[in-house]
């Protein structure tokens, strides 16, 4: 029997906390690593910043569309809930299946291992993997306690992360020796923008923005979701877009582009140029602790998808059980187990390669569902309607389709594995349907 607390008795997540969840979920390791690979073949400061601007526009378009769906259907579960309502429970289950199996666990593992690598420099002699395991277990335990503690922890760690990035940006602008790289657009930039390296880089930039939809997974726990959910998605994504543009500008402004090209730890390299060797170590440590908020936001959001599936499918009912504080502790434990397995085996890198394909496919079908939902349910109350409709969702769909086709062509094996994952989810759905009727 579940110790579920009624919705009216449960404390709610405020708008500030929900916005921090979005910010923390987006800002992970990508922004501190991607530029090095982009700079191998792209030598234009304008083109490199344009990549991050386009990625921000893509994420903002998605946030605007999800805001309408979230306000109209304010239940936790994200795409699983929306696609079940708009299309069919099977379509929703497939999206939820991806989220439950690798959608959150793999990024948690990636951020935890990055934390372990950075933190090990401050704690010599301690294996990075041990640090990664300990931080994942600790954060998961924190989020099994109660909503107030989770909210406090999320706000504190996200504010720390944001402060570190702002300090880094300001220090780079004030202390760094400016490089000769120009950020003014030229005629030559046009050929760069239409090149294959630019296209490849854009795929990874959009992945660095993934997480802009984080708040939808906790919609049922957000205070006044019809008002706060669209706002948190938009504000959180807009803040990250500004931070990403400023941070990459500082990287390029402070460090010779050839020193960044091909390097993974561009944050360290830029910090060394700005602060010196000792300062870069301290800043690297601060960045590592900033990753704690990324892990926390995903630990918080992911189990809500599992919980919602458990509420709808009797076969997974135990995963929907909550403790006396209304926390889906069983779902948190399941996610923790998957994340730890990925950390220990170090196989998550292969998962992340195809993860971008499956996540983009899920968001594509969801935004397409905005058109379907308006057509099929014209009378559904819509406290918020997508700004710029239908241009904004069409722009998102076109960009998503381009990414899907490009990844499918460039990485057919990884994309195929992603489709196989979805196919396995369909088999699990059919088994779950046979095991018991879906809850109404």
Q: Is residue 200 part of a domain?
A: yes
Q: Is residue 8 part of a domain?
A: no
Q: Kindly report the length of the chain.
A: 440
Q: Is residue 52 part of a domain?
A: yes
Residues 6+ apart with CB under 8 A from 55: 202, 205, 206, 208, 209, 241, 244
Q: Is residue 2 part of a domain?
A: no
Q: Is residue 98 part of a domain?
A: yes
Query: Chunked in runs of 10, what are the mean pLDDT values of the chain (440 residues)?
Result: 44 83 84 86 93 95 94 88 92 89 83 82 84 94 88 87 89 90 90 86 85 84 86 94 95 92 82 80 74 88 88 88 87 93 72 71 94 94 93 96 83 79 88 68
> Which DSSP state fits 177?
P
Q: Is residue 1 part of a domain?
A: no
Q: Is residue 440 part of a domain?
A: no
CATH number, residue 29: 1.20.1740.10
Q: Is residue 398 part of a domain?
A: yes
Instruction: Give how far Cα 383 sits from Cα of 14, 54, 72, 223, 437, Å.
Output: 18, 28, 7, 15, 32
pLDDT at residue 436 in the model: 67
Among candidate residues 18, 84, 336, 42, the one with its CA nearest the CA of residue 205: 42
pLDDT at residue 91 in the model: 92
Residues 322-353 as b/e (b if ≥16 CB within 10 A, e otherwise) read bbebbbbbbbbebbbebbbebbeeeebeebbb
Instruction: Give how far Cα 281 sits from Cα of 270, 357, 371, Å.
Output: 11, 35, 50
pLDDT at residue 266 in the model: 84
pLDDT at residue 239 in the model: 95
Host domain of residue 165: 15-435
Scanning 211-328, the segments in alpha helix (DSSP H) are: 225-254, 257-260, 266-312
The structural domain count of the chain equals 1
- pTM as predicted: 0.85
pLDDT at residue 412 in the model: 82
pLDDT at residue 62 in the model: 95
Distance of CA 315 to the CA centre of its chain: 28
């Amino acid at each position: 029997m579940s110790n579920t607390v009624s919705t009216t008795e449960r404390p709610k997540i405020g708008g500030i906390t929900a916005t921090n969840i979005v910010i923390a979920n987006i800002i992970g390791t990508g922004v501190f690593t991607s530029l090095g690979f982009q700079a191998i073949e792209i030598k234009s400061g304008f083109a490199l910043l344009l990549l991050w601007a386009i990625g921000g526009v893509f994420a903002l378009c998605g946030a605007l569309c999800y805001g309408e769906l979230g306000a109209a259907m304010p239940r936790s579960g994200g795409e699983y809930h929306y696609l079940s309502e708009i299309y069919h429970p099977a379509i929703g289950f497939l999206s939820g299946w991806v989220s439950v199996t690798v959608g959150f666990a793999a990024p948690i593992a990636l951020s935890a291992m990055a934390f372990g690598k950075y933190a090990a420099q401050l704690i010599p002699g301690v294996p990075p993997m041990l640090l990664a395991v300990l931080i994942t277990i600790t954060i998961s335990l924190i989020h099994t306690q109660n909503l107030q503690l989770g909210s406090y922890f999320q706000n504190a760690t996200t504010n720390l992360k944001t402060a570190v990035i702002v300090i880094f940006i300001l220090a780079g602008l004030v202390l760094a020796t400016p490089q000769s790289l120009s950020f003014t657009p030229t005629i030559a930039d046009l050929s760069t923008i239409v090149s294959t390296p630019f296209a490849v880089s854009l795929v990874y930039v959009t992945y660095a923005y993934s997480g802009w939809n984080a708040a939808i997974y906790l919609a049922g726990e957000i205070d006044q979701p019809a008002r706060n959910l669209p706002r948190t998605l938009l504000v959180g994504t807009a803040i990250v877009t500004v931070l990403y543009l400023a941070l990459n500008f500082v990287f390029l402004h402070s460090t010779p582009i050839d020193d960044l090209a091909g390097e993974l730890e561009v944050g360290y390299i830029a910090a060394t140029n700005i602060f010196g060797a000792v300062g870069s170590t301290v800043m690297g440590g601060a960045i590592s602790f900033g990753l704690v908020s990324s892990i926390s936001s995903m630990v918080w959001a992911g189990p809500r998808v599992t919980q919602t599936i458990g509420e709808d499918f009797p076969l997974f009912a135990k995963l929907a059980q909550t403790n006396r504080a209304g926390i889906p502790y069983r779902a948190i434990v399941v996610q923790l187990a998957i994340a730890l397995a990925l950390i220990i085996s170090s196989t998550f890198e292969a998962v992340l390669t195809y993860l971008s394909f499956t996540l983009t496919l899920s968001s594509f079908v969801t935004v397409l569902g905005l058109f379907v939902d308006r057509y099929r349910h014209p009378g559904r109350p819509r406290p918020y309607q997508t700004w710029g409709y239908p241009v904004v969702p069409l722009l998102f769909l076109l960009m998503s389709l381009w990414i899907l086709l490009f990844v499918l062509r460039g990485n057919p094996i990884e994309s195929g594995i992603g489709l196989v994952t979805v196919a396995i989810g369909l088999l699990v759905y059919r088994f779950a349907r046979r095991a018991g009727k879906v809850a109404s």
